[in-house]
Amino acid sequence: MLPLSYARRSRGIYLEAVAAVIDLFHPRGGIVEIRILKTRRGTLSGYFDNTFDLAHTIQRWNGQASIYMTINRLHSALLARAEPPH
């Protein structure tokens, strides 16, 4: 892991730090659900199996909305609910 002083910072967050925190809760990988509450489009949610993709996706909401992630293990079939990026 890189020290924060060497980590890439994007829109006020350290992407490597976000990925490291997610890896603490999901050390063996797996599926992580993210929910972003009270946006102009309502509650947003997504399923991820890549922590850096997850960090890049949530960076625009940093400081603008409440962001939550699951800590329990999820079934891999949930990835089928994910929409492809636009």
User: What structural domains does the chain harbor?
Assistant: 4-76 (3.30.1490)
DSSP letter, residue 72: S
Give pLDDT, residue 19: 84
Instruction: Assign 3-class secondary structure to 4-64.
Output: HHHCCEECCEEHHHHHHHHHHHCCCCCEEEEEEEEECCEEEEEEECCHHHHHHHHHHHCCC
- pTM value is 0.70
Predicted local distance difference test score (pLDDT) of residue 68 = 92
pLDDT along the chain (86 residues), means of 10: 42 77 83 89 89 86 88 80 58
Nearest to 50 by CA among 35, 65, 32, 64: 32
Q: Which residue has the tokens 């947003």?
A: 44
Q: Name the DSSP letter for residue 65.
A: S
